């Protein structure tokens, strides 16, 4: 029998917030918090929820958690290298743990989760454009709370949530690239000014001026733009001092 979602907790909630977040250029942390709020609404059987993001190098982060016990349960999965959310991500399939006291698939994590008071878990992968981004999960304090209806609801949220995460990651990467380009241009300009200062007395070519900067960079084990900045700032300081009238008594 199909289960209909209540009108105020269907996918329109995620899509509506997604549009607002993208337009307002919020950070991915804000997007993840919104996802957690929606998950708690859509899966009210849960006592806590979290999102695990895994980068292309396999590094895992508990990117969002509704409370400290969820963050601890997630961190334990990373430390033990086993658990439902890691399996959901690796196998790209939903993982249901009906009872951590009896589940044998995760021999180290399940007893630890049980000791924390977490008796059940439901985890679904986050994937967008064929890229596995991580997993989203909910925990329960009682065994067997995540039945077929809860599984369906969380599964329905996973696609729009993954798209939101992917879009926000792309935005932040674009922002970082823009900042790096601005920094590179600023460094280039600083090096150009330093070369001009070295060439000013005459007899020093561009190539020679650059070689002088490079030699100082190697000698001092510092970045080239740092050496250039020192030269420019020192020249400005000398210029300012020369322009200041002598106020000493005659």
1 belongs to a structural domain: no
Surface-to-core class of residue 195, CB atoms within 10 Å of its CB (0-12 exposed, 13-18 middle, 19+ buried): buried
Same domain as 133, residue 63: yes
Query: Which pair of tokens denotes residue 177?
Result: 């690239």
Same domain as 86, residue 103: yes
In the structure, what pLDDT confidence band is assigned to residue 156 with cuts at 50, 70 and 90?
confident
In the structure, what pLDDT confidence band is assigned to residue 17 with cuts at 50, 70 and 90?
low
Same domain as 188, residue 168: no
181 or 111: which leads in pLDDT: 111
228 belongs to a structural domain: yes
Same domain as 213, residue 107: no
With a cut of 90, say whether residue 73 has pLDDT above it.
Answer: yes
Same domain as 160, residue 95: yes
State which of 175, 192, 219 marks the end of a domain: 175
Query: Residue 68 maps to which CATH number?
Result: 3.30.450.40
Same domain as 171, residue 191: no
State which of 142, 175, 208 marks the end of a domain: 175
98 belongs to a structural domain: yes
How much is the average pLDDT of 146-173? 82
Answer for the pair 18, 50: CB distance below 8 angstroms, yes or no.
no
Specify which residues 54 forms β-bridges with. 60
Specify which residues 125 forms β-bridges with. 135
Same domain as 124, residue 109: yes
pLDDT digits (tens, 9 = 90+) for 29-68: 777 887 888 888 889 999 999 998 887 667 776 578 999 9
What sign for the dihedral angle of Cα 135, 141, 146, 152? Answer: negative
With a cut of 80, say whether residue 117 has pLDDT above it.
Answer: yes
Look up the domain containing 61 and give its range: 7-175
Q: Is 202 left (phi over 0), alpha (psi -120 to 50) or beta?
A: left
Total of domains in the chain: 2
Same domain as 48, residue 123: yes
How much is the average pLDDT of 97-113? 96
Answer for the pair 88, 120: CB distance below 8 angstroms, yes or no.
no
Instruction: Measure Cα distances from 31 to 9, 46, 86 in Å.
Output: 17, 20, 21
pLDDT digits (tens, 9 = 90+) for 172-188: 666 666 676 667 677 77
**pLDDT confidence of residue 6:** 43
2 belongs to a structural domain: no
Average pLDDT of the chain to the nearest whole number: 81
Same domain as 171, residue 48: yes
With a cut of 90, say whether residue 137 has pLDDT above it.
Answer: yes
247 belongs to a structural domain: no
Instruction: Measure Cα distances from 144 to 21, 43, 119, 141, 150 in Å.
Output: 35, 14, 8, 10, 11
Instruction: Give dist(CA 247, CA 250) in Å, integer.
Output: 9
Same domain as 233, residue 130: no
- Percent of the chain having pLDDT more than 70? 78
With a cut of 70, say whether residue 14 has pLDDT above it.
Answer: no
Instruction: Give dist(CA 39, CA 67) in Å, integer.
Output: 14
169 or 195: which leads in pLDDT: 195
197 belongs to a structural domain: yes
State which of 122, 153, 175 marks the end of a domain: 175
Same domain as 64, residue 106: yes
Same domain as 52, residue 141: yes
pLDDT digits (tens, 9 = 90+) for 188-235: 778 888 888 888 887 788 888 888 888 888 888 888 788 888 888 888
């Amino acid at each position: 029998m199909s289960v209909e979602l209540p009108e105020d907790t269907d996918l329109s909630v995620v899509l509506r917030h997604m549009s607002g977040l993208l337009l307002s250029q919020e950070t991915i942390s804000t997007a993840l918090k919104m996802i957690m709020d929606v998950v708690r609404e859509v899966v009210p059987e849960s006592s806590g929820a979290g999102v695990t993001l895994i980068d292309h190098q396999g590094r895992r982060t508990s990117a969002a958690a509704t409370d400290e016990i969820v963050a601890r349960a997630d961190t334990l999965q990373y430390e033990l290298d086993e658990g439902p959310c890691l399996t959901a991500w690796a196998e790209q399939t939903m993982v249901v743990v009906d009872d951590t006291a009896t589940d044998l698939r995760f021999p180290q994590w399940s007893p630890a989760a049980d000791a924390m008071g977490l008796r059940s878990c439901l985890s679904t992968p986050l994937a967008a454009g064929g890229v596995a981004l991580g997993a989203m999960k909910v925990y329960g304090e009682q065994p067997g709370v995540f039945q077929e209806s809860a599984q369906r609801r969380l599964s329905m949220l996973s696609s729009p949530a993954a798209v939101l995460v992917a879009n926000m990651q792309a935005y932040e990467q674009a922002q970082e690239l823009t900042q790096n380009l601005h920094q590179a241009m600023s460094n280039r300009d600083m090096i150009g000014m330093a070369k001009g200062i070295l060439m000013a007395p005459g007899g020093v070519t561009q190539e020679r001026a650059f070689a002088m900067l490079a030699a100082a960079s190697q000698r001092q084990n510092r970045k080239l733009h740092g050496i250039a900045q020192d030269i420019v700032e020192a020249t400005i300081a000398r210029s300012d001092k020369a322009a200041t009238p002598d106020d000493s008594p005659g």
